[in-house]
Amino acid sequence: LILEEDEMINFVSSAQEQAALSQAEVQKQSIQEVRRSLPVFPYREDLLLAIQQHQILVIEGETGSGKTTQIPQFLMESGYNDGGMKIGCTQPRRVAAMSVAARVAQEVGVKLGNEVGYSIRFEDCTSERTVLKYMTDGMLLREFLTEPDLASYSVVIIDEAHERTLHTDILFGLIKDIARFRPDLKVLVASATLDTERFSCFFDDAPVFRIPGRRFPVDIFYTKAPEADYLEACVVSVLQIHVTQPPGDCLVFLTGQEEIETCCELLQERCRRLGSKISELLVLPIYANLPSDMQAKIFSPTPPGSRKVVVATNIAETSLTIDGIIYVIDPGFCKQKSYNARTGMESLIVTPCSRASANQRAGRAGRVAAGKCFRLYTAWAFKHEMEESTVPEIQRTNLGNVVLLLKSLGINDLIHFDFMDPPPHETLVLALEQLYALGALNHLGELTKVTYCSEEVLTIAAMLSVNNSIFYRPKDKVVHADNARQNFVVPGGDHMVLLNVYTQWLESGYSTQWCYENFIQFRSMKRARDVREQLEGLMDRIEVEVCSSGGDIVPIRKAVTAGYFYHTARLSKGGYKTVKHQQTVYVHPNSSLFEEQPRWLIYHELVFTTKEFMRQVIEIDSSWLLEVAPHYYKNKELEDSSSKKMPRKQGKAKEELG
Ligand code: ADP
Ligand code: MG
């Protein structure tokens, strides 16, 4: 016995009989053979006929049946790109857009970026020659700004429609509208086997084309009791599968980069300890910020005698299909944006996934042979604690950006916009109010021009956009990394620290070596620079001047206050309380203001891990709130009962983050 009995997880099967597993045959096939073997292939002619006959078609097919990679090729092969017209295919996720485009370029036999390309925010891999363009749904939305009727497209495919991202939902409304006056435009709405009737209904009863899937039975196992630590449970389950189960690759669903990295490290570490007692286990992560060469690795075939385990976010639920998966481990969680219209707060929290998600995840085990899905929760929890399906993003997000985008497209009447599921009325009104309060809309609800101290704020905005991945903190050099980080601390708060990092990097001549020496992630900095350049370009286009405050940090902090005044927190016993709603929140232990604990703070975002943490905080003066948001704050709310700082807690240990 390699694993101790008490280390093992006790699973119970939902089915009595366990199907005997045959080893998945890893065959060397040519690309064309693989294409022909996909479920969509026999339906090529029927599908093309249906597209010819109908302007809007809903296409439903099991994940991995070839919708994303094959259908656009069918369209190209039958001349939909004649006369330089483009075929566009949207994906909710950046990784999917890149990875699928790379695959299709290979299948077509062209260089990525030539005839087949992709476009994601801050990265355009297309050229004059591109006729098949994969892109994120957000990018297609932006194209409406420059080409409101999408005149250069002959076909638009809204793929992964079942994901119901905010951008996809907005696209539905816009595309339905332009399809009316562009009868030559073909619209395909592609989805996994979910919700297709609703899409058909929304698009005036468009026909649904079903691609029958191939599916092998998947045995579902649940834990007998809830697992206290699902990360640890994942690690144990993978090893358990590896030593007790026949060959076949394994897919683990976790919620984000940090968890995935930890899980991979733990797995590698335990495999090292077990040494030659077990056969080789290849551990591969996949998440949005992973460099693309690493992303590609998950698709390479597993060498005989070894087993591959892919540790993924829910990107592997329906967006990406990895061949050869026989075992799925599902802890039952995902990271979700949630928005509280009453408090105006948006946060990213780890929540139980829906039953629909859990079933999609299980389905990944049955594509090539009979498979097994190990759910790290009880059958009771599945039935009683999980929601039936995921709530569309539009119902749980701040609509500020959407309102701005639609307004800039000239759509002023948002209340009557054709939403598939209209957002809550109060969320929409709140977004309008906030934009008015910010000075982005005037009293007629029209867009205004606003100038703040823009040079520094541009940098800060760019740095904030790279998603907390600036500082590098390898486990074996924690002390050095923390010292390096400490050296960047300047008064004012985390926004000022980010500005400082960027400025020093710029002065180093954007040096890689400098990043390396200072424990800064070069990739993230490069991305921040791209973001900054693009933002600067946009400002130039709308003629907003780029000007510096010349070393004065007050205007910068005021500008952040003007933009985020509804994210204000004040020091109170043991932590902070948000000003409007008295919610208890804490400064994130990574913050430069963790020790200092100033009276008044503005936070960039809230994250819930072990408790509600404010990430990226900046110190402000409460009087600024009356200056920048007099309509929102009353004098009384901002009164300080004492002018002294609260006594600092002695020796407060950094909290372990979950
Ligand atoms: P669907 O969109 O219906 O879910 P896809 O077109 O994405 O299906 O997948 C069809 C096949 O293409 C799958 O077998 C998948 O493994 C393969 N595939 C997709 N992307 C890649 C890639 N980047 N590398 C290798 N194979 C891929
Ligand atoms: Mg797909």
- In the sheet that holds 218-223, the strands lie side by side as 11-13, 218-223, 371-375, 325-330, 249-253, 307-312, 281-286
Closest-approaching ligand to the CA atom of 360: 1
Measure 204 CA to ligand 2 centroid, in angstroms. 24
**257-310 confidence digits (pLDDT tens):** 999 999 999 999 999 999 888 999 999 999 988 888 888 899 999 999 999 999
Q: How far is the CA of 236 from the centre of ligand 1 (A)?
A: 29
Name the residue with the closest Cα to ligand 1, atom 22: 103
Could you list the beta-strand ranges (E) of 594-636.
600-608, 612-619
Q: Which of 68, 211, 308 to mutate to test the pocket of ligand 1 (most atoms within 8 A of CB)?
A: 68
The percentage of the chain sitting over the pLDDT mark of 70, rounded to a whole number, equals: 92
Ligand 1, pocket residues at CB < 6 Å: 38, 61, 63-70, 99-100, 102-103, 299, 321, 323
Nearest atom in ligand 1 to 322's CA: 16
- Range in 494-508, 512-526, 637-651 the model is least confident about: 637-651
Asked casually if ipTM beats, i.e. exceeds, 0.95, the reply is: yes
Q: Report the nearest-CA residue for atom 14 of ligand 1.
A: 64
Q: How far apart are CA 414 and CA 435, in angstroms?
A: 14
Q: What does the alpha-carbon distance between residue 374 and residue 302 come to, in Å, rounded to a whole number? A: 21
DSSP single-letter state for residue 520: B
Say what the pLDDT of residue 6 is.
58
Binning pLDDT at 50, 70 and 90, where does residue 66 land? very high
pLDDT tier, 361 (very low <50, low <70, confident <90, very high otherwise): very high
User: Which residue's C-alpha comes closest to atom 15 of ligand 1?
Assistant: 321
Query: Atom 25, ligand 1: which residue's CA is nearest?
Result: 299
Q: Which ligand number lies closest to the CA of residue 325?
A: 1
* Residues in a beta bridge with 136: 91
Identify the pLDDT of residue 81: 95
Question: Inter-axis angle of helices 454-465 and 494-507, to 10 degrees?
Answer: 100
> For residue 652, what pLDDT is reported?
38
- The helix/strand/coil state of 500 is helix
pLDDT in tens, 529-565: 999 998 998 887 766 778 888 888 988 999 999 889 9
Neighbours of ion ligand 2 (CB under 5 A): 67-68
Whether residue 577 has pLDDT greater than 90: yes
Q: How many helices (H) and strands (E) does the chain have?
A: 22, 22
Helix boundaries (H) for 546-588: 553-564
Atom of ligand 1 nearest to the CA of 323: 16
Angle 50-53-54 from CA coordinates, rounded to 5°: 85
Question: Please, which residues have CB within 8 angstroms of residue 298's CB and are 6 or more apart in sequence?
Answer: 284, 286, 308, 310, 312, 320, 322
DSSP 440: S
Q: Is the pLDDT of residue 27 over 60?
A: no
pTM of the model: 0.74
Ligand 2 centre distance from Cα of residue 160 (Å): 6
* Cβ partners under 8 Å of residue 138, min gap 6: 121, 167
Neighbours of 3 (CB within 10 A): 17
* Whether the predicted pLDDT of 207 surpasses 90: yes
How many CA atoms lie within 13 Å of 116's alpha carbon, on the beta-carbon side? 23
Q: Which pLDDT band holds residue 347 (cuts at 50, 70, 90)?
A: confident
What the block records as the tokens of 642 is: 């004492």
CB 322 within 8 A of CB 361: no
122 C-alpha to center of ligand 1: Å?
A: 25
Ligand 1 center to 64 CA (angstroms): 6
Using alpha carbons, list the distances in angstroms from residue 526 to 241, 510, 644, 647. 40, 8, 42, 41
354: CA distance to ligand 2 center in Å? 20
Out of 109-123, 232-246, 627-641, pick the least confident.
627-641
**How far is it between the farthest Cα atoms of the chain?**
77
Residue 25 carries which DSSP code?
A: -
Residue 268: its pLDDT value, please?
Answer: 96
Q: Which of 321, 322, 325, 367 most suits a substitution to test ligand 1, by most atoms within 8 Å of the C-beta?
A: 321
Helix, strand, coil percent values for the chain (each to nearest 5): 40, 20, 40
CA distance 171 to 144: 10
The whole-number pLDDT of residue 447 equals 82
How far apart CA 332 and CA 12 sit, in angstroms, is: 16
Q: Which element (helix H / strand E) includes 56? A: strand 56-61
Average pLDDT value over all residues in the chain: 88
Q: Please state the atom number of ligand 1 nearest to the C-alpha of residue 367.
A: 14
Lowest mean pLDDT among 143-147, 201-205, 263-267, 636-640: 636-640
610-643 per-position pLDDT tens digit: 889 999 999 999 988 988 887 788 888 887 654 4
Q: Mean per-residue pLDDT for 26-36?
A: 75
Alpha helix locations (H) across 245-392? Answer: 257-274, 292-297, 315-318, 355-363, 379-384
